[in-house]
A = this chain, B = another copy of it.
Amino acid sequence: MQFLSLGTQYTLTALITLSKEGTGVAVSASKLAEPLNSPSTYLSQMLTNLIEPGIIGTRRGINGGVYLARDAKEVSLYDIVTAVEGDTFFQTCFLGISGCGDIEPCPFHDEWGKKRGKIEDWLKSTSLEELANDTSTMLTDGLLQFERKAKR
C-alpha cells in the first residue's frame, strides 16, 4: 500500500527540474531520468500523460525534449497526480461499496470524506512552483535515491 506509484514519483521529480529550467525550455527525457536512475523511456512514457492536459509540451529531433507548457504557478500537484494515476482515490468508497454515497453512506463515508478532502485540497492548492521552491538539496545533488523493491 503506497500512495503514489513509482511512475508518479518519477514524474513529480522530473517536473521539479523542468520548473527550475523555466517554462518553455526543453530538456530531454534521458537528461531528466539520469538523476532518478530510472529508464528514460519509462519516464518519457509517464510524462506523455501530461501532454493532453496541457501541462507539458514536447519537441522531437535534435535539441528537443520535454518542456513545461504553462507557468509553474498554474500547475497544481492535483493536476499532475491525477493526470498520471486518475482520480479514483478521490472518488471511491473507503470500503469499496458501490452504493455508498451521501444518501446511503457506509460507516466510513463522512470521516474518510473529510480526511481525503484535506489531501485533495492540499494537492489542489499547492503549485508546482511552490514544490520546486521547497525542494531541498537532496533533489539537486546526487543524493536522490528512490526506493526499489527488493528482488525476492
A104-B136, A106-B138 given as contacts; is B1 within 8 A of A98 (CB)? no
Q: Which residues of B contact A9 (CB under 8 A)?
A: 95-96
Name the distance in Å between A11's Cβ and chain B's nearest Cβ: 10
Q: Is A118 an interface residue (CB 8 A)?
A: yes
User: Which residues of A are interface residues toward B (Cβ below 8 A)?
Assistant: 1-6, 9, 12-13, 16, 85-86, 88-89, 92-100, 104-108, 111, 115, 118-119, 122, 126, 131, 134-136, 138-139, 143-147
Whether B134 contacts A104 by the Cβ 8 Å rule is no
Copies of this chain held together in the complex:
2
Give CA–CA (A12, B94) in the complex, Å. 11
Whether A139 contacts B98 by the Cβ 8 Å rule is no
7 shortest interchain CB distances as A-B pairs: A107-B134, A1-B89, A9-B96, A1-B85, A98-B147, A98-B145, A107-B135
A122-B111, A136-B105 given as contacts; is B95 within 8 A of A13 (CB)? yes
Q: Which residues of B contact A134 (CB under 8 A)?
A: 107
Whether B145 contacts A89 by the Cβ 8 Å rule is no
